Structure 1
C-alpha cells in the first residue's frame, strides 16, 4: 500500500551550510546518508528544522535536490513546500515532483491572518499542481492557525490528501484527526516531547526536529511502542524529554545547539541562518555536557531489549 512507506520515524532534515553560510551539497548529502545508516524510515525536507522561512526559492530547491541525490529510493522523502506565496509553493511542489519525491507537505499561509477559505484554496492549489500525496502541516504555535476539524474533513475530500503532520501540543488533536480519516490517512506526531503518547493515541509515526541528533532513541521508542513494551516506551520518552529540555536551555536557537553537538560527533553542518542565533560564549562548553547526556542515554537504551 502507498501509505505503508509513510509509517515510522522521519527526521526533519536540518539546513546544511558551508563555512560562508551557503547551502552545502556535500554536507546535506552527508547528513542524509548518516540518517539513512541509522535506520530511519524517511526524511522531511525543507521544513522548520530546515530553516525554510529564512531561505530563498533557489536555496530551498537546492536542498530538495541534494537530499534526493543522496537517498532517493532508499528513504521515503517528503518535501515541505510551504512558502510566503501560493506561486512559490507551487514552484517548489512541481520541482519536488520532478525530483521524484514521495509526498508533499505545507504549513498554512503565514503573516496575514486569513480566513479558512483562503487556507483551503492555498493548500488545494498546491495539491492540484502535482500528482503527489499531500500532508497538511498543522503547527499553530508558529503559524497562528490551528487546523479545525471541519477544514480537515473538507480537505480529505481531495483524494490526494493523505494525512497531517500534527505539531499542536494537545494529543487529543491526533486522536480527532485519526478518527476523522481512519486507516485511509497517515497522522504524524509532531511534538517530539510526546512521541510515545502520540503513537498510542493513533499517530502512525512521527516527524521531528530533534530526531536527527538522537535518531537511536526515537527508533528505540518506536520499537517499544510497536512491540507493546509500554513501560520502556514511557521511560525512554522521559529520557528524551530530559535531552530536549537541555537542548532548549541555552542561549541561541535549538538548531544551533544541535548543530554544535553534531559537529562534536564529526559532522559539520555549519551554523544557523540569521535571525536565528548561534551558540556562543560559555554555552559552547555546555554543549559538550548535552552531547555526553545524549551519548550515555543512547548507550543505556541500546542494552535494553
Structure 2
C-alpha cells in the first residue's frame, strides 16, 4: 500500500451556490460542506467549477469567511486565487490563509500567451509572494496554455509549491507525470480529468479533483480507497459509474453549460439552486426537466443511494 502524502485524497471542486439575487447562498454552502465532511472529502472553493472568474472579490472574501466558520479539526481546505492581475492573486492568497485555508491553487493568467520561461518566472514569483502552500493548476481549456512538465518539475523544488492539479486530457502526459512524481514525498499529483481517475490512482497518483463529487462525493471516496488497497476491479467498476454520472451533465455541453447542469442535479438533492453568474446562463426549462428525469432514471437503475430530499 502506498504511503499517503501530506496532500492527498479526494478534493471536490465546489460549486459556488447563489440565490436568486446573485448573492452567495450561505445555507447552501453549509449543506454542501456537511455533505463533504460526511464523506471524508476536502473542499476546493473558487476554482473553475466554482465560477471563480465571475465571482466578485467581496463575495470571495465572504466565501472564505463561511468556509473558515465551517472548518473543523482535521479538515483540509483548498482555495483558488487565480487572476489575470498578479497583485490580486497575492491578496486573495493572504485573505485565504487568514481565513483558515490550507492550500491556495492558481492557474496561469489567461489573457497573454506565455513562453515556458514566462510560466516558470510567474509561478516562482507567485510562490515567493504567497505566505503558504501553493498548488499549480494546469487547465488548458480555460487558459489556452499547457504548462510543460519540465517547467512544473523545476517549480516543484520551490519550498512553497506543494503539488499539481492537472486537468489536461493527455494520456501520455498523465503517465509521464505519474512516473515523475508518484514517489516524491514533498510534491503531490492530483488529477482533474475524471475519466482517468482510477487509472491515475492505480498507477500512483495522489488524489482526484472530480466535479461530480459535488453530488456524489462517496463515489470518489470509495474509488480512492479501492485503488489505495489495490482493489483494481472495484476501482474500475466505480470508474464506470463516474463516467455515467459525468456524462449526465457534461456530454454535449460546453464547460459553462455543464456548470449550470451540475447545479440542476445538485438541486434535486437539496444541495443548492441552479443559479449561475454571467456570462453563464441557465438553459431552457424543458432542458432542465429532461436533465432531472435523466438523473432520477440513472439513480433508480443503478440503485444509487444519495442525499435525496
Q: TM-score, normalised by structure 1?
A: 0.90
2:284 to 280, 284, 293: 280
- Larger CA deviation: 115-124 vs 253-262: 115-124
| Match runs of 1:102-251 below 5 Å | 102-181=102-181, 182-249=184-251
Aligned to 1:10: 11
| Match runs of 1:31-110 below 5 Å | 31-40=32-41, 42-110=42-110
**Equivalents in 1 of 2:67, 2:303: separation in Å?**
29
Q: Is the 8 A contact 1:168 1:190 kept in 2?
A: yes
Higher helix proportion: 1
SS of residue matched to 2:209? strand
How far is the alpha carbon of 1:66 from its aligned partner?
A: 1.4
Q: TM-score, normalised by structure 2?
A: 0.89
**Equivalents in 1 of 2:36, 2:271: separation in Å?**
12
In 2 relative to 1, CA 191–293 (structure 1 residues): closer, same or farther, beyond 3 Å?
farther
Q: Is the 8 A contact 2:202 2:230 kept in 1?
A: no
Q: After superposition, what is the alpha-carbon deviation per residue over 1:221-248, rounded to whole angstroms, capped at 9, x for unaligned?
A: 1222122221221122112112211212
Q: Is the 8 A contact 1:174 1:202 kept in 2?
A: no
Q: Is the 8 A contact 1:104 1:133 kept in 2?
A: yes
**Equivalents in 2 of 1:249, 1:93: separation in Å?**
34
Q: After superposition, what is the alpha-carbon deviation per residue over 1:134-189, rounded to whole angstroms, capped at 9, x for unaligned?
A: 11101112211111122112212212211100111124323323433423211001
How far is the alpha carbon of 1:56 from its aligned partner?
A: 2.0
Q: After superposition, what is the alpha-carbon deviation per residue over 1:237-261, rounded to whole angstroms, capped at 9, x for unaligned?
A: 1121122112124667112112112
How far is the alpha carbon of 1:74 from its aligned partner?
A: 4.3
**Equivalents in 1 of 2:172, 2:35: separation in Å?**
34
In 2 relative to 1, CA 237–221 (structure 1 residues): closer, same or farther, beyond 3 Å?
same
How far is the alpha carbon of 1:301 from its aligned partner?
A: 8.7
Superposed structure 1 runs of 4+ greater than 6 Å apart: none
How far is the alpha carbon of 1:67 from its aligned partner?
A: 1.6
